Structure 1
């Protein structure tokens, strides 16, 4: 599939080599790549913001067959574009970006009352969470605290988990998807920023039970685990968006890696660090992981290598590994650093980064939403851009 420039990759990997004489030169090369990628992201994202400015309530979702596809705040991805703008603002703090970030964040606010799905974490934490982190606006804090209480309504203490979906009840009694691990961050934040310590208990119960029942012995993950509501034991394990029930859907694996990495960061619990490291080991040593570390949509697709990559999985991985590299030592530091460098260089190349004004004004190309459902295949996706900006921002903090 898409190849990166090997000459630049060799130079890039020198950043993490043990040869001191190369370090300064290669660090400058990395800084330059990150800075240019952020500069492009700013220009492209501002064009996107201008495009939807007067489409009240609309938020970008994808760009398919030459057409813009948007959503209102109800779509699970609604918080990602506001989050993109907040990362743009963090790296380029000018008033025009700030106004757009506020405008699009406000379009998501009604989701603070969402109780019919688990995605309120994605919706609110990525938008209002980044906004509050950068502005300390007390209204943003209030929105997040309300959203955390809404999310907590989906917790069943008998099962010990937050329910993901309410549909398809003839098949699933109490479905929990691996994506849900991402929404616990809102609960942990709210527990620290309020008097409700129950929210942390809910988050950690969900994390612990997911660790027991979602992961196989090799630390790959199922997508969906449905629990018996009487026994609180799984009655069905499957993969809804991957190749098969026993396959490793790549974005699902990335969610798990990211989730247990931040759980360790927020709690200091060594069990979560061990889980994140073992997930990383599984992914980075998988025989079907490409050399550029941009995963195929499912690691077990029989069509590999003649099938699609999923850039969204790569961006989530990169963001997680940047954090995880700070929590490990020894050979893993160098290993993770090389993978991060490879991913960022590849994503910033013309193979995956769009031209200015093209690609529906999304930054990255070639993501996959749900291949078996023929939904959003080989298209830009708003969450791919979000986690790319997050990864670039984290990397900039580390190397500047």
Structure 2
């Protein structure tokens, strides 16, 4: 990865954040920050086998993945978001190049993460290109994803591994992939995808939430009775703990589902879990949660910036539906925290990321307290959403 891309992204972010007050010169400021770096960005060469996922400070290496990895769509998505935020055509050019590498995933029926991969790339791109090819790729991807839907259970199957333990696992993360289905119906006028998304959301609503509105990570369904047989975790501290990113997926997922359906149950759940999250006694003052609210090592436990940015993006939208300024204030607080040296990745690091201190999979000691690509994606989305409601 060309280290100058890091400089470009970080100078852009710094310019955007530090010009948060409404100003007619905001665009000029961004242009000036990037002007000397246009040629460097254009010389950056996309690589289909080197989608950046995370960075290790220990090894000083970028973790690179192919398109089949669930995180592959975020880097192209980041470029589309940067294009929208800046208006710089060079971001659009590179976004198209990186997005093209994801197309073959439209046939991949071995994963539920079609939304993360395809909609975060082609879906973002469609907002700026109106490409018929992008539309057909999204529809085909939704059709492929639908093969994992079990009508008797009412859910899309998440993982295929651990077959000796699980029969039909469904993770809360899977709510995020419903956006692809909702959009596919809008593009194709085929209600099958929309109806499937609603069934999945309804089943998840029934089984994933605890009485206090916190969220189980994994529900394993019995393939004979079609009822939950296990309520467990795979990435949290333990089965009954509060894994921060799991709460984030749920808040975002049901806010998004309400956007497409206007089902008041979805809005109510998004608000209830958001209230649980925001009022949790272990939530840090700067709004950045520890990776799991039950980690006994708190306050020395790793943080998870990715959970914070996912929630922040969701709560800007939730504010739009409710006008509850508590949600907007949290999102603004997260942005304020993340613009500091504590969280912005040093320009000396040769890696195309923006933020530090995310945690991927703590139980496996995998990507703990490092820059992770999806934290940047939802950070950029938060900035864009805040900009659209005229609050930055």
The normalised TM-score by structure 2 is: 0.89
The Cα shift of 1:373 comes to: 0.5
Say whether 1:324 aligns with 2:315.
no
The count of residues paired between Structure 1 and Structure 2 equals: 370
**What per-residue deviation string (whole Å, max 9, x for no partner) do you get for residues 308-349 of structure 1?**
1100000000000000011114xxx22122211211100111
Among 58, 62, 83, the alignment partner of 2:50 is: 58
Q: Equivalent residues in 2 for 1:84-95 (5 A)? A: 84-95=78-89
User: Which of the residues 258, 263, 267 maps onto 2:261?
Assistant: 267
Are 2:298 and 1:313 aligned?
Answer: no
1:205 and 2:205 correspond: no
The answer to whether the 8 Å contact 1:359/1:380 transfers is no
- Once the two structures are TM-superposed, the CA of residue 27 in structure 1 deviates from its matched residue by 10
Unaligned runs of 5+ in 1: 1-25
Indicate how the Cα distance of structure 1 residues 277 and 38 shifts in structure 2: closer, same or farther if over 3 A, else same.
Answer: farther
Distance 1:366 1:38, change over 3 A: farther
Matched-pair contact (CA < 8 Å) for 1:31–1:396: no
Quickly say closer, same or farther: Cα 1:56–1:211, change in 2 above 3 A: closer
Compared CA separation, residues 51 and 283, structure 1 to 2 (3 A): farther
Aligned residue number for residue 97 of structure 2:
103
Report 1:346-385 matches (<5 A). 346-356=337-347, 358=349, 360-385=351-376
Cα-to-partner distance string for 1:117-138 (whole Å, 9 max, x where unaligned): 1011110000000101111011
SS of residue matched to 1:325: helix
Distance in 2 (CA, whole Å) between partners of 1:48 and 1:142 is 33
C-alpha distance after superposition, 1:166-203 (max 9, x if no partner):
11111000000000000000000111111321111110
In structure 2, stretches of 5+ residues that fail to align are: 1-17
CA contact under 8 A between 2:49 and 2:64: conserved in structure 1? no
Residues 38 and 392 in structure 1, CA contact (< 8 A), matched pair in contact too: no
* Alpha-carbon distance, 1:55 to partner: 3.3
Q: CA deviation at 1:37?
A: 12
Give the C-alpha shift of residue 95 in structure 1. 2.9
Report the Cα distance in structure 1 between the residues aligned to 2:345 and 2:33, rounded to whole angstroms: 10
The secondary structure found in structure 1 opposite 2:112 is: coil
* 150, 162, 187: which one aligns with 2:156: 162
Match of 2:179 among 185, 189, 201: 185
CA distance in 2, matches of 1:111, 1:155: 18
* 8 Å contact from structure 2 (residues 27, 86) kept in 1: no
Which secondary structure state, in structure 2, belongs to the residue aligned with residue 193 of structure 1? Answer: helix
- Per-residue deviation, 1:272: 0.6
Task: Look up the match of 1:236.
Answer: 230
TM-score by length of 1: 0.87
Distance 1:56 1:167 in 2: 25
* Secondary structure at 1:243 match in 2: coil
Change beyond 3 A, Cα 1:42–1:115: farther
TM-fit CA distance, 1:92: 2.1
**What's the CA shift for 1:85?**
0.3
- Is the contact made by 1:254 and 1:317 (CA closer than 8 Å) also made in structure 2? yes
